[in-house]
Chains A and B, each alone.
Chain A
Amino acid sequence: DGGITQSPKYLFRKEGQNVTLSCEQNLNHDAMYWYRQDPGQGLRLIYYSQIVNDFQKGDIAEGYSVSREKKESFPLTVTSAQKNPTAFYLCASSQVLHLGGTGELFFGEGSRLTVL
């Protein structure tokens, strides 16, 4: 079945460590996104990519990094520079509007990161 797979579902990290969250999609979508969710704050955009080998900062990119070497994959690294990394991270993909889609995002099941 087509979809988006995020791993791991739960992750614990000690302060000062970098961690990488995986996101893979087999929907043949050009665009991929990373959102962070905190209680009562909705979803905030970290990074997005509309095409392979290109990505842009979202609203809260500081302390995060991404790569887009393959169309199917958009891993997110939470670096030690992120001051408050404990959160629920959501990856999404979509077909870009100008290719005739409705712009809807398809989400993975999320990864919960806890810093100890």
Chain B
Amino acid sequence: GEDVEQSLFLSVREGDSSVINCTYTDSSSTYLYWYKQEPGAGLQLLTYIFSNMDMKQDQRLTVLLNKKDKHLSLRIADTQTGDSAIYFCAENEGGATNKLIFGTGTLLAVQP
């Protein structure tokens, strides 16, 4: 079945760039997504990328998609303490349903 994998933890210093990586398995996914979850809260969509794109940039966020390797990454430039959160990547399952398959989440800790 579909599987989405992420590393569990990433620690960076304030002002550095953060890169969170994700691998997925469903090559028919139309969209791939990055969500952010702050403690005790729901998930908020950060950005998404259409499957026929290689890169998408949105202010401090850059998403890179390598379809051949089924690898997705999220780069956060000039990381701030407010970026500390859990980041989830997700793929659309494909087909007629709208189910998203989520990764395990990466906890980003930003050190001042």
Residues on A lying within 8 angstroms of B by beta carbon are: 4, 6, 31, 33, 35, 40-43, 45, 48, 50, 58, 90, 92, 94, 96-98, 102-110, 112
Q: How far is the CB of A102 from chain B (nearest CB, A)?
A: 6
Q: How far is it, in angstroms, between the C-alpha of A86 and the C-alpha of B96 when the chains are bound?
A: 32
Of the candidates A31, A94, A96, A110, which one forms a contact with B42 in the assembled complex, judged by CB atoms under 8 Å apart? Answer: A110
B: number of interface residues (CB 8 Å): 25
A40/B8 contact (C-beta < 8 A), A94-B98, A104-B48, A108-B42 known: yes
For residue B103, which residues in chain A have a CB less than 8 angstroms away from its CB? 42
On whether the beta carbons of A104 and B96 are closer than 8 Å, the reply is no
On whether the beta carbons of A42 and B88 are closer than 8 Å, the reply is yes
Closest to B107 in A: A40
A43/B99 contact (C-beta < 8 A), A90-B42, A107-B42 known: no
Q: Is B62 an interface residue (CB 8 A)?
A: no
